[in-house]
A and B are shown apart, each in its own frame.
Chain A
Amino acid sequence: MSQTPVRRLRLGAPVLLLAAAMLAAGCAPDQYPQTTLIPRADFAREADTLMRQTLLWATIVFVLVEGALLFAIWKFRNRPGAAEPVQTHGNTTLEIVWTIIPAFILAMIAVPTVRTIFKTSQRPGPGALQVEVIGHQWWWEFRYPELGITTAGELVVPSGRTVSLEMTTADVLHSFWLPQFAGKRDVFPGRYNNLWFKAEVEGNFPAQCVEFCGVQHGRMAYRIVSVTPEAFDAWAANFNAPPKDFTADSTANPLVREGQRLFTAKGCGGCHAMYPALPLIGPNLHHVGSRSHIAAGTLENTDENLARWIKNPQEWKTGVLMPNLGLTDQETAAIVAYLRANQ
């Protein structure tokens, strides 16, 4: 009778082992593009170091305390003929000891915590690249005031240079997150919040909004594109070139010219600017052709996906604030060609 749970434990062990093996397989952080466990910037490194320290202490406490519990369960299980236990009521020395030891461990966690809090809440000094980040339901807008650039969905930054984000929102609360580079900051209407980081590597990293912000919170993603400083300058220069006017250019692909005409005729221009710095109610589509993703970072920027989006944005993102404009396939193809030509 009293043996039952022990026997069950033996049965449960293989199951637990199997689960552990599967977990281990699922553990390697480099398989997860959005992981926080591989920091790639100074800010994230601070957070990561702190997290690992805390995790270490937590693991030590976990092993010791669970160990003591399991040991007690095994050691003091009722065996036939066992005597009645001694009726102890407590022990003051023990109480003091197990108050002080956790206090000590917590101090070991608290000191680096406070140090890191003050380090990470400093504002970056001069020389940082200023970017204004604005949350919208359900996409992110990025403005580079020094460069006169307004873009969306893709935060392009130079590696090796501190980037200072001044963040706010145009509607409800969102939270901007740079899993590989920094933590999260919530954005509030009418208020500016700050976050900074210095990217150590180049690459195209996924990220997404992390404060529940309405029906499409789940598909409010974006990309963080870190490039070399040279590439960044080239990108900025290219971005600042005025938009091409294909309708005035008789050598241009007629499909593209038709697309540009439709873009205005169908009312796209009412929400989307095609000009470097002009913000409107939808994402600025200047150079949309060269972005890696569209639909707030959730669809790869292929012609099929563009067409799918433009034909009916509600299919992929139900409730999205871009209406279904009832375009025909031909019209869609033309607009896609036009958007693609905006490199």
Chain B
Amino acid sequence: MATTALEHAPAHHEEATGIWSWITTVDHKRIGIMYGVTAFLFFLLGGLEALVIRMQLWGPDGRLVSAEVYNQLFTMHGTTMIFLGVMPLSAMYFNYMIPLQLGARDVAFPRLNAFSYWVFLLGGLIINASWFFGAAPNGGWFGYANLTSAQYSPGLNIDFWTVGLQILGVASLAAAVNFFVTVINLRAPGMGMMHMPMFVWMSFITQILLLLSFPIITVALVLLMIDRSFGTHFFVPAGGGDPILWQHLFWLFGHPEVYILILPSFGIVSEILPVFSRKPLFGYAAMVFSGAFIAFVGFGVWAHHMFSTGMGPFADAFFALATMIIAIPTGVKIFNWIGTVWGGKLEFKTPMLFALGFIAMFIMGGLSGVMHASPPADLQQTDTYFIVAHFHYVLFGGAIFALTGGAYYWWPKMSGKMLDEGLGTLHFWLMMIGFNLTFFPMHIVGLNGMPRRVYTYSAESNFELLNKMETVGAFLLGLAMLVFMWNILKTWRSHQPPAPADPWNGATLEWAIPSPPQHFNFPALPRVHGRDALWEMKRVAGGTLPEPTPVAHDAVPMPNPSWKPLVAALGVAITLGGFIGGSHLWVHAVGLVVLFYGVYAWAFEDPFAATGH
């Protein structure tokens, strides 16, 4: 390891600070932090929306919010959690951790990376700006045609949704190209594909899913937008259009999307378990192939969301079988995680608690998924709270548990501070109990006939008791979030000694460098000879490595900051924003001008040109 090779480096330069340095940053770590902060705020907003939903459903014939507002709430809750919560939280880890774990200085295209973030931020802001117009999207997170047509949804609500999601799609695609190339090309010398940390592998597969599934929803959204703006009939039956096509296009994207949401979490858990079991990941190759297989088969199961549309027995049978097959590779993952823990020396630090909680909860969600995969049975389950239970077990019990575990695990690396273990444990148990109290009863209330997306239920239906439990659980979850935030705040202000480079005895390269890392990550690119690179280095060194010392900040030339990506991002947002409330040529024109200016300025800028200092 060559981190200590620059001991005699020149004087120590401070990194730039201040708001402008963040706006123009092209540093993957800063961009990662911006992704994280933004996504966490959106997550809280989505959670707040969920809390209002839960309060409305506290008792029968609830009157807290109107039907109209309720519909906006669950649409925005779903949309926010998926597109502005879990996806960008994963993107935070892609940004921060992929280059570090690969032993790289940055992503392949640092400015494109900044562009992705800005487009994501603007998309999220535009979609949420709808609240100020009293016109938040209200068609459900999968916006089934023909309710979303101009005839049945004349307001701005659906426009905000189609435009916002298209903008977010641009961000995801740009990021996916970037990380795809990064993983293939920026692996440290000696790191073969089958040496990469599992988080990088799962993220890599996620990028492939993004690349191949986002264009599909883009087309669907474009067609819907054209229908609404120009009066075509792609999804309007009166002109021969078929609303079922929307469903196929949406779920062709939508199912790969759920694996986009979970695969990074699989990766995070696969990082945490070995470290706190003191034992390498069990069945590395099987883990890689099962992940790839899940993604691949994930493209062939979309119509399991459409069993009640009456596709005919052959299609039903095909999609049922394809869906069930996914349980096999997922099972392989579960068993290999248990295999990793098995025979280890488990240390129940907070990240480990969340990782174990993830496995326990995800199994539950996966099994109810297999129950939906049986079409005749699903005819009773679909569109009830049984489905809501399933997807919160995989999304919250799965993704959010793992992402939270990742936060505790990587917090020292990202912030240079350790989070409090006691509060972390409290956070975990509150979340575990609150989560199950919120979502377990949904299985029961669902099978007993409570449909989803209803703003209220009758007293006759007798759903009250279970709904009350769910609401209490949701507030426990809120409390858990407050504990987390308190933990962050408390440790942020405390004067603890800076976190060491390697607080957990980690196995991967991000722990080889100071916490937080310097701008260029690695003064010299590390040489890798196998998996678990850092453990290997420690083994060779016969125990621990010396704490790496920071070197001069200008020891390695890094690309200059740039505001051009922000301009280009504004161009994208304005151009597409012109489709809110019809098509406004002027807005498109202005947007295109800004976009082209941004792109040209960016293309002809030399990222390494000498700057003022």
List residues of A whose CB falls within 8 A of some B CB: 2, 4-5, 8, 12, 15-16, 19, 22-23, 25-27, 29, 31-37, 44, 46-48, 50-51, 54-55, 58, 61-62, 65-66, 68-70, 72-73, 76-78, 82-91, 94-95, 98-99, 102-103, 106, 109-110, 113-114, 116-118, 120-121, 137, 171-173, 175, 177, 179, 182-186, 188-190, 193-194, 206, 208-219, 221, 298, 317-319
B380-A213 in contact (CB<8A): no
B379-A33 in contact (CB<8A): no
B316-A117 in contact (CB<8A): yes
Within 8 A of A (CB), among B270-304: 277-280, 282-286
B332-A185 in contact (CB<8A): no
B335-A98 in contact (CB<8A): yes
**Separation in Å of the A15 CB from the closest CB of chain B?**
6
**Separation in Å of the A100 CB from the closest CB of chain B?**
9
CA distance A22 to B454 in the complex (A): 24
Q: Report chain B residues within 8 Å CB of A54.
A: 370-371, 374, 377
CA distance A8 to B353 in the complex (A): 12
**Within 8 Å of chain A (Cβ to Cβ): is B156?**
no
Q: Report chain A residues within 8 Å CB of B492.
A: none
| Other-chain contact of A58, B338, B371, B376 (Cβ < 8 Å) | B371
**Separation in Å of the A181 CB from the closest CB of chain B?**
11
5 further A-B contacts with Cβ under 8 Å, apart from A54-B371, A94-B335, are A90-B284, A94-B283, A110-B321, A318-B68, A319-B67
User: Could you list some 14 contacts between A and B, CB below 8 A?
Assistant: A32-B461, A48-B377, A50-B376, A61-B367, A69-B341, A88-B280, A95-B286, A95-B336, A98-B335, A109-B324, A193-B309, A206-B460, A212-B147, A318-B67
**Within 8 Å of chain A (Cβ to Cβ): is B237?**
yes
**Separation in Å of the B78 CB from the closest CB of chain A?**
11
Residue of A with least CB distance to B375: A117
List the 6 closest pairs (A to B, CB-CB), nearest first.
A183-B379, A34-B449, A218-B454, A32-B448, A189-B237, A90-B283
A29-B310 in contact (CB<8A): no
Within 8 A of A (CB), among B544-568: none
Produce 1/0 per residue, B155-184, CB < 8 A to A: 000000000000000000000000000000
CA distance A184 to B376 in the complex (A): 9
**Separation in Å of the A103 CB from the closest CB of chain B?**
6
| Other-chain contact of A36, B339, B347, B380 (Cβ < 8 Å) | B380
Q: Which of B152, B310, B335 has the most CB of A within 10 A?
A: B310
With A36-B449, A95-B283, A189-B146 as contacts: A47 and B380 at CB distance below 8 Å: yes
Q: Report chain B residues within 8 Å CB of A109.
A: 324, 370, 374
Q: Report chain A residues within 8 Å CB of B328.
A: 99, 102-103, 106
A33-B364 in contact (CB<8A): no
**Within 8 Å of chain A (Cβ to Cβ): is B542?**
no
Residue of B with least CB distance to A113: B374
B437-A19 in contact (CB<8A): yes
CA distance A113 to B432 in the complex (A): 34
B441-A23 in contact (CB<8A): yes
Residue of A with least CB distance to B244: A188
Residue of B with least CB distance to A34: B449
| Other-chain contact of B317, A55, A76, A114, A217 (Cβ < 8 Å) | A114
| Other-chain contact of B380, A82, A179, A317 (Cβ < 8 Å) | A179
B343-A76 in contact (CB<8A): yes
Q: Report chain A residues within 8 Å CB of B381.
A: 36, 51
**Separation in Å of the A97 CB from the closest CB of chain B?**
9
B332-A215 in contact (CB<8A): no
A118-B313 in contact (CB<8A): yes
**Separation in Å of the B33 CB from the closest CB of chain A?**
30
**Within 8 Å of chain A (Cβ to Cβ): is B342?**
yes
**Within 8 Å of chain A (Cβ to Cβ): is B140?**
yes
A23-B444 in contact (CB<8A): yes
CA distance A121 to B316 in the complex (A): 10
**Within 8 Å of chain A (Cβ to Cβ): is B363?**
yes
**Separation in Å of the B218 CB from the closest CB of chain A?**
23
Within 8 A of A (CB), among B334-361: 334-336, 338-339, 341-348, 353, 356, 359-360
**Separation in Å of the A61 CB from the closest CB of chain B?**
6
**Within 8 Å of chain A (Cβ to Cβ): is B429?**
yes
**Within 8 Å of chain A (Cβ to Cβ): is B480?**
no
**Within 8 Å of chain A (Cβ to Cβ): is B79?**
no
List residues of B whose CB falls within 8 A of some A CB: 66-68, 70-71, 138-140, 144-147, 152, 237-238, 242-244, 277-280, 282-286, 308-310, 312-313, 316-317, 320-321, 324-325, 327-328, 331-332, 334-336, 338-339, 341-348, 353, 356, 359-360, 363-364, 367-368, 370-371, 373-384, 425, 429, 432-433, 436-437, 440-441, 444-445, 447-451, 453-458, 460-463, 465-466, 469
| Other-chain contact of A4, B146, B348, B375, B458 (Cβ < 8 Å) | B348
Q: Report chain B residues within 8 Å CB of A121.
A: 312-313, 316
Q: Report chain B residues within 8 Å CB of A69.
A: 338, 341, 356, 359-360, 363
Q: Report chain B residues within 8 Å CB of A211.
A: 144, 308, 383
B347-A2 in contact (CB<8A): yes
Residue of A with least CB distance to B74: A212
Q: Report chain B residues within 8 Å CB of A58.
A: 367-368, 370-371
Q: Report chain B residues within 8 Å CB of A188.
A: 237, 242-244, 309
B313-A173 in contact (CB<8A): no
CA distance A171 to B151 in the complex (A): 10
A85-B278 in contact (CB<8A): yes
B437-A51 in contact (CB<8A): no
Q: Report chain A residues within 8 Å CB of B145.
A: 173
Q: Report chain A residues within 8 Å CB of B152.
A: 137, 171-172, 214
Residue of B with least CB distance to A119: B376
**Separation in Å of the A222 CB from the closest CB of chain B?**
13
Q: Report chain A residues within 8 Å CB of B286.
A: 90, 95
| Other-chain contact of A113, B237, B284, B376 (Cβ < 8 Å) | B376
B455-A106 in contact (CB<8A): no
| Other-chain contact of A318, B66, B343, B469 (Cβ < 8 Å) | B66
Residue of A with least CB distance to B329: A99
**Separation in Å of the B476 CB from the closest CB of chain A?**
11
Q: Report chain A residues within 8 Å CB of B456.
A: 218-219
Q: Report chain A residues within 8 Å CB of B449.
A: 32-36, 179
| Other-chain contact of A186, B310, B341, B356, B445 (Cβ < 8 Å) | B310
A190-B237 in contact (CB<8A): yes
A36-B313 in contact (CB<8A): no
**Separation in Å of the B61 CB from the closest CB of chain A?**
9
With A26-B444, A47-B379 as contacts: A72 and B342 at CB distance below 8 Å: yes
B453-A218 in contact (CB<8A): yes
With A77-B346, A89-B282, A318-B67 as contacts: A35 and B379 at CB distance below 8 Å: no
A85-B320 in contact (CB<8A): no
| Other-chain contact of B147, A4, A193, A214 (Cβ < 8 Å) | A214
**Separation in Å of the B427 CB from the closest CB of chain A?**
12
With A46-B376, A55-B371 as contacts: A68 and B338 at CB distance below 8 Å: yes
B317-A36 in contact (CB<8A): no
